C-alpha cells in the first residue's frame, strides 16, 4: 500500500514537471513570436558605425553568453537613459549565435527590459569585419566603440559606470 502511495506521488510529480516544462516552452515561444530582432550582416551594420550627425554614438558589442558583457549592460542602459537628451545614443550590437535568438537573446531583451537600441550582427566571417570596426580589436568581447562625426575611439575592455561616463564626456563639448 505504501508503495502504491509512493507511486501515485511520483506520477503526480512527474506530470507537474512536464506541465511546468510546457509552460516554460510556451513562454519562450510567446517571447520569440512577439519580440522583433533587427538582424544585419556587416555591410548592413555599417550604417550604425558611420553616422555623421550631431549625436555621439556608444556602440557596445556583447552577447548573452558573455558574463562581463551582461555585467556591464546596466551601465550602458543607465548612460542611455541619463544622456539621451544630451545627444548620446547607445546601440547594443548582439553577437549571439542564431540558434539562440529565440531561446536566449529575445528573452534577455524582454526580461531586462532593455531600452537602448539592440541590433544583431549575424556575419560569420569575423576576420573580414573585425579590422573594419577597429584595427586595434583582437576580437574579444566586451568591446565598445564611441564615436561622433569628429572623433572615434575603440575600447577592448569592460566598463563600470564612472569609467564609461568619463569617456563619453570627452566626446561632449
Q: Which residues bind another protein (CB under 8 A)?
A: 63, 65-68, 95, 97-98, 124-128, 130-131, 137-142, 156, 158
Strand pairing class (39-40; 117-121): parallel
> What's the min distance (Å) between Cβ of 50 and another protein?
20
* Residue showing cell 544585419: 40
CB 68 within 8 A of CB 100: no
Whose Cβ is closer to another protein: residue 32's or residue 126's? 126
Give backbone dihedrals phi and psi of 126, rounded to 5 degrees, phi first.
-60, -30
> What's the min distance (Å) between Cβ of 152 and another protein?
18
Whose Cβ is closer to another protein: residue 54's or residue 135's? 135
Whose Cβ is closer to another protein: residue 42's or residue 55's? 42
CB 153 within 8 A of CB 135: no
> What's the min distance (Å) between Cβ of 41 and another protein?
13
Amino acid at each position: 500500500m505504501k508503495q502504491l502511495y509512493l507511486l501515485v506521488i511520483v506520477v503526480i510529480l512527474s506530470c507537474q514537471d512536464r506541465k511546468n516544462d510546457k509552460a516554460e516552452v510556451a513562454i519562450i515561444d510567446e517571447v520569440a513570436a512577439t519580440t522583433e530582432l533587427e538582424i544585419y550582416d556587416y555591410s548592413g551594420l555599417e550604417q550604425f558605425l558611420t553616422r555623421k550627425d550631431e549625436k555621439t554614438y556608444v556602440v557596445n558589442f556583447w552577447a548573452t553568453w558573455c558574463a562581463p558583457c551582461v555585467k556591464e549592460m546596466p551601465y550602458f542602459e543607465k548612460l542611455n537613459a541619463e544622456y539621451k537628451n544630451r545627444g548620446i545614443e547607445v546601440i547594443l550590437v548582439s553577437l549571439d549565435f542564431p540558434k539562440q535568438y529565440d531561446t536566449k537573446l529575445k528573452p534577455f531583451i524582454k526580461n531586462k527590459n532593455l531600452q537602448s537600441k539592440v541590433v544583431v550582427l549575424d556575419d560569420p566571417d569575423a576576420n573580414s569585419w573585425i579590422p573594419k570596426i577597429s584595427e586595434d580589436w583582437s576580437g574579444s568581447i566586451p568591446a565598445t566603440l564611441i564615436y561622433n562625426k569628429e572623433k572615434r575611439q575603440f575600447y577592448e575592455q569592460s566598463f563600470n559606470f564612472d569609467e564609461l561616463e568619463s569617456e563619453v564626456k570627452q566626446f561632449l563639448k
